[in-house]
A and B are shown apart, each in its own frame.
Chain A
């Protein structure tokens, strides 16, 4: 089992809809969780980070963390065509916070 699992997609949603991106992980000791957005040919851009169970909201984005079930999700409300990108889930497994472990990413396509 890979350490961070994401559905590769593509996930297709119409403009204005809610896009839901999910990520599961295998290491219960994982400390912190990050969502990055990556446009084709560009670098990963930090969207959200979450450390505690529950929801964290920032504008149109909400990150949800459930450590007992070992999943983290990203909701994008009022999806726009400019949100079309690959979304990478990443985590730190220890407090030293060295390597980020990434999933393969989910490709999101928002149609106008």
Chain B
């Protein structure tokens, strides 16, 4: 596709429910990243995939957060037993290749609200 596509754009869930957020990266992009952005803050790194391999998950805040990219394209971020502090915008980004010189391109994000 032309850009990084995320769905849903908005998600409202009750505390304790599980949610799944989807990211479809730019076609052919090897690297995929998930970030969490709280209101008034910059995005914070959650996890990184190179193809289907999850190479860095150091930013995941708890074991309730789980991400996968089974075929090296679409990725899903799952949050189990959601808490109010999980309310944020979840951004997905992709880059053409691995490496620090590769710019990351962001999707429009999923705004998650936990009631």
A residues whose Cβ falls under 8 Å from a Cβ of B: 4, 31-32, 34, 36, 42-46, 49, 51, 88, 90, 92, 94-105
Contacts and interface: CB of A to CB of B under 8 A. Distances in A.
A100 B109 CA distance: 16
B102 A46 contact: no
A104 B2 CA distance: 28
Contact of A97 (B42, B102, B105, B108): B102
Contacts of A49: 103
B56 A99 contact: yes
Interface in B54-95: 55-56, 58-59, 91, 93, 95
Contacts, number: 67
B108 A43 contact: yes
B100 A96 contact: yes
Given A43-B91, A44-B106, A102 B43 contact: yes
A4 B41 CA distance: 12
Given A43-B91, A51-B101, A98 B42 contact: no
A98 B93 CA distance: 11
Contact of B100 (A32, A102, A105): A32
A74 to B, nearest CB: 15
Given A99-B45, A104-B41, 6 more contacts: A96-B98, A96-B100, A97-B99, A97-B100, A102-B42, A102-B43
Given A95-B100, A98-B48, A99-B59, A88 B42 contact: yes
Secondary structure class of chain B's binding surface, majority of residues: loop
Interface string B32-45: 01010000111111
Contacts of B7: none
Contact of B48 (A31, A34, A88, A99): A99
A100 B98 contact: no
Contacts of A32: 100-101
Contacts of B109: 43
Contacts of B106: 36, 43-45
